[in-house]
Amino acid sequence: MLVVILAAAAGLFAGSYTYAMADPTPRNLPTAVVGGYDQARGRAFLDELGKSLGSSVRAHTYPSRAAALNAVENQTVFAVFELRDAGRNVVLDVSSASGASVAELLEQAAPQVGAEVGVRVTVRDVNPLQTGDPRGLAIFYISLAAVIIGFVGAIQLSVHARSLTPLERIAFTLAYAVLGGFAIAATVDWLLGALDLPFAESWSILALTMFASGMTFTMFNTLVGRWAMLPTWGVMVLLGNPSSGGAVSWPLLPSALGIIGRWLPPGASVNAQHTAVYFTGHQHAFPFLVLAGWALVSCTVFWTWRHRHPGGREKESPEDAPDTGTAAEA
């Protein structure tokens, strides 16, 4: 049975990542439009761009470029099309920090479409990636590390510290999450210099991610015992990581994954960390609520059915109590 499960896990692992990342295709790409978008040439450019990308571009009009750029900072749109001179010239402001894969797609498609319809396209990157992370993958990797070490740590506690009481198990999970989050952030920022992190915020996100991941395994360990690795692996690795938006931006993922990923710990972690690093002052509560929700539900389930958890110290039975001499005297 274990041989079959491991073989199936290998195939599913490769399949889930290949399905999500091998051929990223735009499905719902929100963009901002300002200027002469109502002119004939401007409409022709936008229509042809939509066709070239599979009619996936969702253009939202804004009264000014400043308002559109603010929407980029709030991560409601991924790029800004400013149509000038009655639509004859287009300035495309991409944001690599919003999604490197989306920015690259637009940088390639827009000038080609412009040449076809007689529109000059100028591309600018208004929010580039940090020099130590030119592909925008570092945030995905540190979030992946927090997720995997989070539940691997809980597995190690279940194997090598079986006698922990429920409260001790939660406390030690929190302890390694806090220390592990610090180690990840310090390595990436201070040791390697790959990312300039807002250290306290990034540390807290990584620690919360590790704790939520660890307690998720502990919850499943309480509910299904020795088979807990299967649902944990399914939620965190097979489904959670490919749909997180870290390696491929959400607009380029299959639609269902793009929606589901935001509600799982890996996606929430990437979302929160991404905003902390590249969109200072525009942090959203949603990813923190997702991580806290997983942690709270997992802790609640574990505590409620803690008697079913395979670990823990047994309560002292009467026959194991030390002999005080009362019985002998009687």
H/E stretch holding 155 reads helix 138-160
Strands (E), the chain: 29-35, 57-61, 79-84, 89-94, 120-125
Distance from C-alpha of 133 to C-alpha of 123, rounded to nearest angstrom = 21
Query: Under CATH, what is the fold of the domain 26-125?
Result: D-Maltodextrin-Binding Protein; domain 2 (3.40.190)
On the question of pLDDT at 325 being above 60, the answer is no
Domain residue spans of the chain: 26-125, 137-308
| Per-residue pLDDT, 193 | 92
Which band of pLDDT confidence, cut at 50, 70 and 90, is reported for residue 322? low
| Per-residue pLDDT, 316 | 44
H/E stretch holding 50 reads helix 40-52
Name, in order, each residue with C-beta under 8 angstroms of 145's C-beta and a sequence gap of 6 or more. Answer: 184
Under DSSP, is residue 81 helix (H, G, I), strand (E, B) or coil? strand
Give the other-Cβ count within 10 Å of 5's Cβ.
13
87: nearest Cα among 33, 49, 30, 35:
35
| Per-residue pLDDT, 328 | 41
| Per-residue pLDDT, 314 | 64
Q: Which two tokens stand for residue 97?
A: 């920090």
Q: Which residue has the higher pLDDT, 168 or 58?
A: 168
Distance from C-alpha of 96 to C-alpha of 210, rounded to nearest angstrom = 27
Distance from C-alpha of 82 to C-alpha of 32, rounded to nearest angstrom = 8
Looking at every residue in the chain, the average pLDDT score rounds to 89
CA torsion sign, 21 to 25 to 30 to 31?
A: positive
C-beta of residue 28 within 8 angstroms of C-beta of residue 253: no
Tell me whether residue 330 is exposed, middle or buried, using C-beta atoms within 10 angstroms of its C-beta: 0 to 12, 13 to 18, 19 or more.
Answer: exposed
- Residue 164's Cβ-side half-sphere holds a number of Cα atoms within 13 Å equal to 19
Core vs surface per residue 128-153: b (16+ CB within 10 A) or e? bbbeebeebebbbebbbbbbbbbbbb
Under DSSP, is residue 38 helix (H, G, I), strand (E, B) or coil? coil
Which band of pLDDT confidence, cut at 50, 70 and 90, is reported for residue 323? low
List the Cα angle 60/64/68 in 5-degree steps: 50
| Per-residue pLDDT, 326 | 44
| Per-residue pLDDT, 284 | 93
Residue type, 143: S
Least confident of 75-89, 217-231, 271-285: 75-89
Give the C-alpha distances (Å, rounded to integers) separating 27 from 53, 234, 250: 8, 25, 9
**179-214 per-position pLDDT tens digit:** 999 999 999 999 999 999 999 999 999 999 999 999
